[in-house]
Amino acid sequence: MKTIAILLVIFICFLFVQISNAQVNDPSKIAKDAATSNTNNNVNNSIENQLNKAENTLKGLFKKKNKEVKPATLQQPTSAPSSTTSSTVANTSASTTANPAINTPTGQSKDNLPANEQITDIKVYQNYDFRAGDKIIFDDNFVADQDGEFPAHWDLTKGQAVINKCSGIPCFFLTDGNYCDVLPRMTTKTYLTANFSVEYDIFMTHGSFGLIIYFYDESRNNNMSVHLNAQGVEWVGSSKTLAANHPGTLQNENFFNKFHHIAIAYKNDQLKVYVDQFRVLTVPHCDLKPSSLDCMGIGSQENPIIYTNFKIADGAQMNMLDAIMTTGKFVTHGINFEVNKSVLRPESMGVIGDVAKYMQSHVDLKLEIDGHTDSDGSSELNMNLSQQRADAVKAALVRSGINESRLDTKGFGPSKPLGTNDTPEGKANNRRVEFVKM
């Protein structure tokens, strides 16, 4: 009896092993297990990717700095770095400076397109309320500077910087320094007014620090800063810090490897920062009266700070449209075009929108749109260019709902300058659009 019990136990164990082997080798179970494993891996990878994205977002670039840091940390200082004796600028050629693959700047198009096709991509700016100043204080697009050289209208107090081309466009590259510090060469130390605007186009690569603009009072003992990077904008004042992220369509990955237009408006102690068509940050009270500015950041050969079309103007957000009724003419420098083209830059839509609204509220008003250029190039080419630019503005107004019978255009080229053509600022003031009451 005992022997039979032992044999029965052995037989049951044998059956269990066979059944187990059959389950392990079952193809349907193997496929099911593989699918389950693959699904789990995908879920884990997805979670890991989302965590990495979240981690990168949470890390941000808005970290305060008490001591100088290495470029890799991408931190922002809470106060301006101390200046050092000017360094000799390396004669870096275009081939030795990092030049990533770059998209064309915002608004760039072909000149042979009809005017109404050229402005298709500026519709998104119809609610853009930035208004540039009406008198140019400083303007530099770096077209007169040679690649590999330091630009003639800037100074360097720390680090290294050089002119180079980005997608064929001359740009200022801050290539070395923690912090690299450059500033416009001005005839006076205090040139910013109670109302002013600052505009520039920036291009950022992965790992780029972004640009900081420091605004100083007359003594240069007090300052505030505006730091722009791929995540957003931060303003640092004497007693507080304000920051805001870009809209999702611009933030982080969406910000890299393309040009963005940045506009800063300061009026009666209030400051606003615009990125492309969005107002990103408002500072209601700065508690500082700026008199001058510096541009700085952490630059390197691999990840330079790249910007161009840097402009400072007096009279930011000054509504000059009533001048049409009082003087019969409205002059604006807020309508801009691509260099040597009649292609409207998107940020021009703010002023064009103002004119359209004004004409809609004054239904009997008719306007002549006059285009003016500087004296660079031949007179014949400038006459044609100024006419084409006036026509482009008319097309934008027609698209905004204004009947074309209320609009006329004329191109005057360089024949009616407002001032000298001997300086970049003089030329910038001569490049303008005027609306004349008919």
pLDDT at 120: 43
pLDDT at 320: 60
Residue range 325-349: mean pLDDT, rounded: 86
pLDDT at 321: 65
Over 90: is that where the pLDDT of 426 sits?
A: no
Domain 323-437: CATH architecture, name and number where available = 2-Layer Sandwich (3.30)
Confidence of residue 145 (pLDDT cuts 50, 70, 90): very high
Residue range 157-171: mean pLDDT, rounded: 95
pLDDT at 44: 41
Give the model confidence (pLDDT) of 98-112 as tens digits. Answer: 333 333 333 333 333
Residue range 115-144: mean pLDDT, rounded: 73
CATH code linked to domain 132-314: 2.60.120.200
pLDDT at 403: 95
- Domain 132-314 identical in fold to domain 323-437: no
Over 60: is that where the pLDDT of 392 sits?
A: yes
Which tokens sit at 119? Answer: 């402005």
Over 50: is that where the pLDDT of 332 sits?
A: yes
Calculate the average pLDDT of the chain.
77
pLDDT at 159: 96
Over 90: is that where the pLDDT of 419 sits?
A: no
pLDDT at 94: 37
pLDDT at 81: 52
Locate the domains of the chain by residue range. Answer: 132-314, 323-437
Give the model confidence (pLDDT) of 260-307 as tens digits. Answer: 999 999 999 999 999 998 999 999 999 999 999 999 999 999 999 999
pLDDT at 324: 74
- Give percent above pLDDT 70 in the chain: 69
Q: Which residue has the higher pLDDT, 13 or 141?
A: 141
Give the model confidence (pLDDT) of 199-256 as tens digits. Answer: 999 999 988 899 999 999 999 999 999 999 999 999 999 999 999 999 999 998 999 9
Confidence of residue 428 (pLDDT cuts 50, 70, 90): confident
Q: Which residue has the higher pLDDT, 117 or 333?
A: 333
Give the model confidence (pLDDT) of 352-387 as tens digits. Answer: 888 998 899 899 999 999 999 999 989 899 999 999
Over 80: is that where the pLDDT of 342 sits?
A: yes
Give the model confidence (pLDDT) of 27-79 as tens digits. Answer: 333 333 433 344 344 434 433 343 343 334 333 434 433 333 333 333 344 44
Confidence of residue 167 (pLDDT cuts 50, 70, 90): confident
Q: The tokens 């809209």 sit on which residue?
A: 247
Residue range 78-87: mean pLDDT, rounded: 42
Q: The tokens 């004054």 sit on which residue?
A: 362
